[in-house]
Chain A
Amino acid sequence: MDILLSLGAGFLEVFQPMNMLVMFIGLVLGMLVAVLPGLTLVMGVVLALPFTYSMGLLPAIILLTSMYVSGTYGGAFTSILFRIPGEPIDVPLLWDGYTMARNGQPAKALGWTLFAALCGGLLSATVMVFLSHPVAKFALTLSSPEYFAILLFGMTSVVSLGGGSISNAFISLLLGLMLSTVGVDSIYGTERFAFGVPFLQDGIEYLLVMVGAYGLGEVFTRLEKGFKSDEKVGDSDGKIATEFPTLAEVGQLKGTFFRSSILGILVGIIPGAGATIASFVAYGAESQYGKRRKEMGTGIAEGIVAPQTAATSSVGGALIPLLTMGIPGSGATAIILGAFLLHGIQPGPQIFVSSGPMVYAIFASLFVSIIGMCILGYFAIKPLVKVLDLPEPVVSAFVVMFCFIGAFAARNNLSDLYVITAFGILGYLCEKLKFPIAPMVLGSILGPLAESSFMTMMISENNDWTVLVARPISATVMVMAVVSLVYPIHRQLRERRLTRRQTP
């Protein structure tokens, strides 16, 4: 009952004109970045960050979360209509969404997507509301070994779930962890790897790593591959409409909705996994266990509902570890964490005690954002797909500009521009040499938390690291961390052995 009352108060807060305005802007921007192939969702949220510096905390978080949620949906339009996935999240929509559109039912395909985003989003928001408080209470009972084990699990899961080879992902993660050690350490006050350079003595802000590697690095990569100059990518002049599925049709797919929502929430909760993995995993699960699994890929509704429901429901899941433990599990939630920290709030188990009303307002804003996103998606689809006509060189030039302003505005320090340019080049090299960027970014974010938990644990336990396997919770999480790292290697080695045996 307390939760519902607090949530009600949160809704009242969200309905303030200023909050509704930033939410609307966030929803539009999220859809735009999801539609534009040159801009990823994480890049979009990064670019929006500098605009939040002068805002209060709540409007800032509302802006970023509404961008995050609508970014998981906007790219569906171009995937279904033009076979252009704006985001990797939308790739599974090509298989059934685009096929359904080609089979003469584009409006129906769009209707299924909209309904899937609505259901998945609302269910995950509900789960988030009721799960966050107990998780925060549980997190209060944890001490440094458990925290370290959870952080380690987050880091190993980003290595095993992400793109690229596991070795490269592991190196990328370790590189991120090393970056976080630059500067003066928090326990002894010792200067590490700063080479006497003043701005390195302050440490390397993870936001600079993110803006550089995700923003500039991506632009440099696309520049090398050649921008699509002034050409129309899709025929956005055709008739575009959305046709909702009937209640009977929805009823037939209730299993798919439920299964994919739960999968999306669970994948969202796992640090390192995000909407893209949720989308692929849900499509894969539907292909294996769905009633019409043999028809997947031929343009059936299940192939649209599963990835879209899971992608949107992963948002609520990802916000749970962020708010209750201060652990961001994905790029977008890392930026939201950055916004919290810039406003002097540290998310974690104490947040319900220190900033309870604000947390419930964030919960409420997620519900309103999801509904707003669907209304916007229904009415504004035609102008939204028009942004595909924007020339990529122009968009990219402005992306670089916003990257620079975002980096500069955080500390009003011109040296930070050099740092993000260096990370832009590093991001480009990583992309070129097939080292995934996400583990490096997550390493630079989780590095200080992991080091501080590790040092606290070692100091309080007299350098006895076996405490990690001696305590039940930390031992369980450590086993999960090891399994998450070893299992994919074992599986692929087994597959290779089988292939070798079958090849004469």
Chain B
Amino acid sequence: MLTLLKQEWMKAVKQNRFYIWAILAFVTPIVVLTWLVPADSQQAGYYSLGGAGLIVAISASVISALTFTQEFNYGTIRPLLSRQYSRLQVFVAKIIMIVFEYVLVLTSAVLGTLAGRLIFQMTNGTTETEIQWQPFLFNQVMDVIMTLFFFAIVLMVSNLVKSTAAAVSIGIVLSVATSIIAAITTFLVQFWEPLRWNPLTVEAFLSQFNGQKVQNEYMMNYFGTDVWVVWAVYIFYLVVIYVLTYLIFRRRSV
């Protein structure tokens, strides 16, 4: 497994070139927070990682889509699979590397945000630049957990259609339009009650989760059950999508 991870890392650096995303995620908040965001909006800017949140979301889609589709496009899928490793090992190594790359890009965006804040403080003083560390870091952890859902969808699409463009598009659409889709499904719930448990709505609600009482009650009212049940359903969806994706990958003759 260690060999597979080393190989995936080598490809990530030389093929996917994720570091370009990491650099973008670092530079964007510095530029945005230093020059574009006024003092009274600084704190809100920190939570959106100084505009790098969108870059991190797009990078997540691109990185996860490329991981599989590049192998199909370059024809390297054959030597990748005609080795001593099982397909499950290859699959798991790829997932671990995708999450690792994502965390690195996200970390880079957080560091960029802090650097942007520091530069702003040096040039404008420290007024209205406090960060409440606990919710700020909680937010980032939630981002990672929610992104696992997008990874699962993008990976499934990329394995199904072997098309980078299709997988990236799905990822981007999902990451920016989940709330819109969830709103539509919320409207449709009145026609069919179980629709409220669809994966997009569950994901959209949980992405707002902040552990606070008001939010918890809102979720409990909507779903009519405890918050942990909603989490359990989310984990169930994740497991199902990853297993389905693996089965598609496993069955594929190349």
Q: Does B bind A?
A: no
B residues sitting closer than 8 Å to A (CB atoms) are none
